[in-house]
């Protein structure tokens, strides 16, 4: 039987070999618990973020954690895809203009991908025009905007304002997230929803499709 608390601890401690071995065991013994495994991985990476803020981990550890999450998702994804069925549609996700942080965004991308969305990852420090083009080119119905710095709030608002000017605001649902994001920020920026929990964000977007 898989100990999900232990898996979360392995992820948080960056014990990559142990965590990946646990996930491979899960896929053999209980693939139906893939969603629980994903949540355990998310909790583990949340702990990584807490340790980084406390000065216990460094930037290199955050990068490593993002890579580990990518490997974890690659293992879990087949089981999640089988359980979820067909694609849930296309989501364009990025960190907004002026913000160079992408660890949190990368985690969101991995979880959305594993949940069954076709994700277009535009990276970080992305101009509104680039996002608009990606939405149009890929007929995306969902846009996820991430930010860590306080300046991201204005960038999120500017991006959503650009959607309005481009005539596509009513064609997409916009969800925002990151350290400075609250309900007040959501209302100010003009987004449809906000979440700082990737799993919860997936739940919101599932309802939209």
90-208: which CATH architecture? 3-Layer(aba) Sandwich (3.40)
The answer for residues whose C-beta is within 8 angstroms of residue 80's C-beta and 6 or more apart is: 34, 35, 38, 114, 115, 116
Q: Is the pTM of this model over 0.85?
A: no
pLDDT tens per residue across span 51-99: 887 899 987 888 888 889 889 888 987 877 665 556 789 999 999 999 9
Per-residue pLDDT at 169: 97
| List of the chain residues with pLDDT < 70 | 1, 81-86
CA within 13 Å, CB half, 192: 17
pLDDT of residue 62: 80
Q: Are 177 and 142 in contact (CB under 8 A)?
A: no
- State the helix-helix crossing angle for 4-12 and 16-29, rounded to 10 degrees: 150
The conformation of residue 126, written as its DSSP 8-state character, comes to B
Give the three-class secondary structure for 127. coil
Domain boundaries, the chain: 4-84, 90-208
We find that the CATH architecture of domain 4-84 is Orthogonal Bundle (1.10)
């Amino acid at each position: 039987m898989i100990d999900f608390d232990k898996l979360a601890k392995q992820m948080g401690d960056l014990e990559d070999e142990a965590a990946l071995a646990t996930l491979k065991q899960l896929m053999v013994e209980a693939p139906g618990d893939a969603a629980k495994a994903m949540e355990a991985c998310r909790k583990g990476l949340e702990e990584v973020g807490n340790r980084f803020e406390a000065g216990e981990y460094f930037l290199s550890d955050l990068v490593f954690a993002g890579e580990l999450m990518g490997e974890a998702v690659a293992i879990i994804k087949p089981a999640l895809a089988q359980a979820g069925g067909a694609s849930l549609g296309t989501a364009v996700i990025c960190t907004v203009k002026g913000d160079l942080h992408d660890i949190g965004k990368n985690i969101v991308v991995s979880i959305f991908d594993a949940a069954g969305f076709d994700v277009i990852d535009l990276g970080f420090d992305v101009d509104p025009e680039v996002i608009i083009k990606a939405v149009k080119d890929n007929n995306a119905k969902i846009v996820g905007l991430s930010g860590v710095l306080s300046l991201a709030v204005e960038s999120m608002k500017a991006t959503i304002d650009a959607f309005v000017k481009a005539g596509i605001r009513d064609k997409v649902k916009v969800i925002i997230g990151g350290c400075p994001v609250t309900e007040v920020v959501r209302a100010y920026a003009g987004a449809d929803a906000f979440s700082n929990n990737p799993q919860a964000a997936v739940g919101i977007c599932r309802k939209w499709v």
